[in-house]
Structure 1
Amino acid sequence: MTAPRTAPPAGPDPAALAAAFTEAYAAPPEGVWHAPGRLNLIGEHTDYNDGLVLPFALPLGVSVAAARRDDGVLVVRSLQAAGDGVRTPVDGGPISAEDWPDGRRWAAYPAGVARVLRPSGTGGASLLIDADLPQGAGLSSSAALECATALALCELYGVQIARPELARLAQRAEHEHVGVPCGLMDQSASLLCTAGHALLLDCRSGLSAQVPFAPSGAGLALLAVDTRAGHELAGGEYARRRDECERAAAALGVDALRDVTDLAGALASLRDPVLRRRAQHVVTENHRVEAAAGLLRAGAVAELGALLTASHLSLRDQFEVSWPEADTAVEAALRAGGRGGRMIGGGFGGSVIVLTAAARADRVRDAITAAYAKRGWTAPAFLEADPAEGAHRVR
């Protein structure tokens, strides 16, 4: 782990969180750490196919106040959850859904991280969590919780782990202790992103590069639209899509769909129409990520819109993970003059991003809100997003 990054405080107020920790545990914390949520500019469902992604960090995220314990126990409390929190030993096997009933399943994320890090030399801790990142909006609140916990435990115990490896350990915690076979993007984005940049990440090698991305500096606005349709990735559809991609790769004789170089030939050889659609999305989405990175390096931010919309159509029609509120938001934004937009996240709920001229941002917001009202849906929420700093110590 590298030295703590210095950055202006982001997310929840660290002083208030430290005071709440002192009240909860009758002793002050040894520090407060913040990890951001992320928006993925482009590259959806490519990460677990060993492909390319282009996320950036949000100012919103999850903060963890923490102190060491000498009893080998992790105690986790959250300002967003009622009750006395959860106690669990840091030594132990995979956490099951039956371990913590009554709405406390969220604690499997930090507990899983503690158990995965235990062989590296971390130990027990008292944690108090605060977040201003909405859950279920596709902004990676779970990875932010994992990464804030991982940074806290490593620094508390003086454990040195490089950030790319720490991201893989947080991913492993989600696989083994939460049961979600997520890719590497969310944890990498939370730990590796820098302000004013998107992170071009190769999910096979783990290599990454910072690509300049500052939409507000180009007279543009990137709106994150919470469609208010929640999702649950552990519910089965995410795992099903991953299985379909693995089956398509096996049928094509490649390690992962990232390795497909002849798309036309691959589509012709896949007999299953579902697998053809999944392969088509993944291969073309990787091409869109490369094109987007090229546009950003050339300073052509405004030209991203067409790529975003193409990504959405592919996710809707080829990967079949979109949902009505997302389709409506993208369509309304384009009719109002937005340059492009797409769903983000695993699908079946969450958020949409829309790129628009800053001068048209209010018109786009109004158009999406009106389209929702016409259908009797809950009004969407909006966040204007510029790339922020990755995970760091804030107190």
Structure 2
Amino acid sequence: MTEYLATGGLPDEYEQLRKTVADFARTVVAPVAAEHDAAHTFPYEVVAGMADMGLFGLPFPEEYGGMGGDYFALCLALEELGKVDQSVAITLEAGVSLGAMPIYRFGTDAQKEEWLPQLASGRNLAAFGLTEPGAGSDAGGTKTTAKLDGGEWVINGNKQFITNSGTDITSLVTVTAVTGVRDNGKKEISTILVPASTPGFTAEPAYNKVGWNASDTHPLTFADVRVPEENLLGERGRGYANFLRILDEGRIAIAALSTGAAQGCVDESVKYAKEREAFGSPIGSNQAIAFKIARMEARAHTARTAYYDAAAAMLAGRPFKKQAAIAKLVASEAAMDNARDATQIHGGYGFMNEYAVARHYRDSKILEIGEGTTEVQLMLVGRELGL
């Protein structure tokens, strides 16, 4: 994908997708973003519109109800949505890369046939239950357990910060759980599919968050939740390794979302700097403002180049762990830095929640935390360098 930047444009099919999503973001998402953010309401009508466009099925084959595209196509959509509303963008990102993708990557034929069509259509959402009160970056600290009993898994434990887990259209949560102990004494962690209607499964009241207020996020409780043994997703004991693969891919998607947020701050700042006058001229004519916006544009461009490069490596079947970590690191920091600078450029208006830059200021911090903190990305890059 990096060659596309060098040649000045994307192939027609990618560019048409980008333009279509950009138009949807501008005409459908942006007008209601402030309202949903203020009310902390999930934008069902926007999600339905994305479903109608086929965005939830972008990287999946047509045989499962998908659009037959690829992960880069998903990333382009996320960047355009992220420019105007991160809550909407993360709903799509989590629904696809964390919700449906584990089933596509590791599911049996029967699991794919049962779950993927509804998830790819966007009629339903799935969530990925990984993080726990005592197991965030240290996912190996998982305490949720799953024990076999009469051909069923009995699951007990708690998860937290789980996106898309409590909406009216949530149909499934994939749960990491300790299913035994290995010969070396370490935990055997597996992943298990839990339908949202299963008795004992509870999506607790939603969090009161700093940002991403229109995104659905809940703590989850599993109290003697029983699901069939065949709901095991992938090989028993491979849950830890499989979720690492999912997170590597997801970091590219989060980098794309972050790039959109960074670029959205540039776009809003350019517009404001041309319109806002002080001391008899537009503030953009002042070098201090112009230089600040120029640095913001450089950050967004660098972030875009990084996630394009990571996506290219992934789709070519090459190792991409380091590139994904770099992309996530660079793009999330670009989003946060640009949000801070955009708020400063807007002055008092930047502190008002109805302005997009104010939402980006509140929303962007989580980009440096979710799906691997900044520190985790630095650790991964260091390891890939042999350190």
Q: TM-score range by the shorter chain?
A: under 0.3
Higher relative contact order (CA 8 A, sep 6+): 1
Q: Which is richer in strand?
A: 1
**TM-score (normalised: structure 1):** 0.25
Q: Which is richer in helix?
A: 2
